[in-house]
């Protein structure tokens, strides 16, 4: 059976590169009827936090990436954790086997200089005595002579000269296994068939293969996905902008668009706007590009806008509500009138590419009192504003059958009068009813606001209440 794993370290937010790796692992497992395993690699006790673990798990769920096994937590699978596996002594037997076969040894260090090794020993009791005296003691794996060769699914034949590696610490002085040892034991015991991970792990692979071979274990197949680069061709980092899944969530990128964009970063598929989950049968590890890919922030935003405009309006409202509640960005009163909210979002989504800007566009439709900035106040203080707004108010009150077409006709009729500048008229009316100079279409906005709200807002400006 195909068995793959995603194994993040909970030392920060989930990076977009990690999310892409998880997506490709998940697609590969689902395509082949296999298993996708989530394993939290938290043996770095100084840097690992429960907060990071919770954030990573939440972001994976937001991406729609579920896993197939793990400890039962309230009726669903929790992730495996290396810290739990340490408690259950999962690493002791293979460690003792390496020591017994003298392929690993205890390294004893100076008390005053924990980096200076003073002795090697295969005796556990001797190591224990030194530890009692205050010495740091690690277990080191002996690097074998020769070369390590393996076939990488993405890169082909890979060859490393073992002489370039020093002996490897596999158990730290605090008793916790290091990454390169724990990952081998975990992948073997979990029967992982394919290790699909980022290219930044490539130099770890020969070290891990040596441990596999020292223990007489069968190797999984390896694949190292090229890195995601920033616009300047260097590995994507904070200097380029946001790099975490949470960053894009907070700024209003939706999960469907985000996963769609991640899939494009290496998956050779002749499509642009699509749902990767519905294209599982087209997924092949062999089709992932062996070349680095550039993360294009502008394209992600554009793609998000495409998804916003294509999805059913009630789904968009639901996504927006969940997003705004998570980040405390809007009041529940926005959703009290479902049809009104859907109408507002329908006209607002035509001009925006993320939920953050959608919020800015929608806000004036729900606020009882508009907040005019200095530019807006200057527009309403112009010598034409009273005349224009009075004419608009009369025309709007006289509309009998309320529709976008009737609203547009009434306002254009006023604008066609000789003494009125159409451009200035529309600008003043837009600011009076929505408080901003950039809004959805003027006629559609007035129609959605409705006659009562529109009249009240214009009257408030004419009476000096709003400004």
> Which active-site residues does the annotation give?
238
- 85, HSE (Cβ side, Cα atoms, 13 Å): 25
Reference 347, options 376, 321, 373, 308; nearest CA is 308
Strand 168-171 relative to strand 137-141: parallel, antiparallel, unpaired?
Answer: antiparallel
Q: Report the C-alpha gap between 377 and 372 in whole angstroms.
A: 6
User: How many Cβ atoms are within 10 Å of 141's Cβ, its own excluded?
Assistant: 24
Tell me the three state secondary structure of residue 258: helix
Whether the CA torsion 397, 399, 404, 405 is positive or negative: it is negative
Structure tokens belonging to residue 4: 């793959």
Q: Contact 244/24 with Cβ under 8 angstroms?
A: no
Q: Report the C-alpha gap between 150 and 308 in whole angstroms.
A: 45
- Alpha carbon 397 to its chain centroid, in Å, reads 49
Whether the CA torsion 27, 33, 37, 38 is positive or negative: it is positive
């Amino acid at each position: 059976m195909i068995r793959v794993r995603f194994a993040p370290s909970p030392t920060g937010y989930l990076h977009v590169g990690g999310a892409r790796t998880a997506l490709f692992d998940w697609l590969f497992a689902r395509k082949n009827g296999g298993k996708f395993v989530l394993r939290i690699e938290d043996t770095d006790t100084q840097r690992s936090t429960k907060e990071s673990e919770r954030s990573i798990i939440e972001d994976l769920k937001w991406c729609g990436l579920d896993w197939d096994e793990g400890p039962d937590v309230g009726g669903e699978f929790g992730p495996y954790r290396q810290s739990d596996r340490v408690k259950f002594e999962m690493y002791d037997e293979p460690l003792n086997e390496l020591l017994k076969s003298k392929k690993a040894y205890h390294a004893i260090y100076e008390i005053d200089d924990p980096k200076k090794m003073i002795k090697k020993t295969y005796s556990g009791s001797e190591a224990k005595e030194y530890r009692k005296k205050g010495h740091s003691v690690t277990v080191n794996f002996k690097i074998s002579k020769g070369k390590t060769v393996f076939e990488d699914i993405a890169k082909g034949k890979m060859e490393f000269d073992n002489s370039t590696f020093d002996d490897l610490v596999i158990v730290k002085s605090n008793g916790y296994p290091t990454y390169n040892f724990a990952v081998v034991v975990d992948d073997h015991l979990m029967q992982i068939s394919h290790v699909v991970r980022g290219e930044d792990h490539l130099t770890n692979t020969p070290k891990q293969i040596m441990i596999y071979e020292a223990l007489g274990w069968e190797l999984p197949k390896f694949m190292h996905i090229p890195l995601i680069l920033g616009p300047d061709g260097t590995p994507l980092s904070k200097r380029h902008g946001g790099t975490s899944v949470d960053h894009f969530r907070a700024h209003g990128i939706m999960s469907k668009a985000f996963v769609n964009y991640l899939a494009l970063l290496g998956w050779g598929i002749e499509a642009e706007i699509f749902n990767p989950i519905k294209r599982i049968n087209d997924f092949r590890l062999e089709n992932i590009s062996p070349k680095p890919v550039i993360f294009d922030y502008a394209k992600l935003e554009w793609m998000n806008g495409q998804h916003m405009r294509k999805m059913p309006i009630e789904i968009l409202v639901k996504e927006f509500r969940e997003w705004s509640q998570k980040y405390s960005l809007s009041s529940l009163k926005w959703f009290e009138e479902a049809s009104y909210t859907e109408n507002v979002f329908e006209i607002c989504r035509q001009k925006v590419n993320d939920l953050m800007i959608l919020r800015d566009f929608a806000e004036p439709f729900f606020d009882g009192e508009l907040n005019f900035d200095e530019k807006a106040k200057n527009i309403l203080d112009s010598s034409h504003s009273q005349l224009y707004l009075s004419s608009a108010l009369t025309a709007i009150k006289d509309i009998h059958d309320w529709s976008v077409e009737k609203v547009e006709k009434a306002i254009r009729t006023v604008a066609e009068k000789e003494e009125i500048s159409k451009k200035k008229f529309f600008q003043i009316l837009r600011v009076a009813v929505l408080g901003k100079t950039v809004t959805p279409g003027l006629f559609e906005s007035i129609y959605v606001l409705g006659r009562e709200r529109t009249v009240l807002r214009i009257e408030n400006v004419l009476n000096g209440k709003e400004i």
